[in-house]
Copies of this chain bind each other. A is one copy, B any other.
Amino acid sequence: MRDERFCASNCPFTRAIGTIGNKWKPIIINVIGTRTVRFGQLDSIIPLISRKVLTEQLKELEEDGLLERLAYKELPPRVEYKLSEKGLAFLPILESIKEWNCKYEVALTPKETDRITYAQ
């Protein structure tokens, strides 16, 4: 999922793309935003992602220091995710991507059915 050849590059930009350059991570970071979110919430807010892949993505994001995982020793288990300082600093970039897209996107005619929104 994470491309090790990218992460091993000596180019900062290439390394950055190696860590956040896939489709799920920007979505997950955007969904968490400034909140504290539980695993089950993420799983239900992002319907297209499977539990397994969500787990993997969250683990990588934690390893890369973008988010913090708070596991409470309860039963049934409770785990909360929130963005770290690094993750929060990435939010403005996602905002500029939104603005960029709204400004330049060619008009589409999405079906009224199967609408999916991850924005808050």
Contact = CB atoms under 8 A, between A and B. Distances in A.
A7 B64 CA distance: 27
A110 interface: yes
Q: Main SS of chain A's interface residues?
A: helix
A115 B65 CA distance: 24
A116 B17 contact: no
A111 B21 contact: no
Number of chain A interface residues as a range? 35 or more
6 tightest Cβ-Cβ pairs between the two chains A and B: A16-B101, A86-B104, A11-B117, A21-B23, A10-B115, A9-B116
Interface of A: 3, 5-18, 20-23, 26-27, 30, 48, 64-65, 85-86, 89-90, 92-94, 96-98, 100-106, 108, 110-111, 114-119
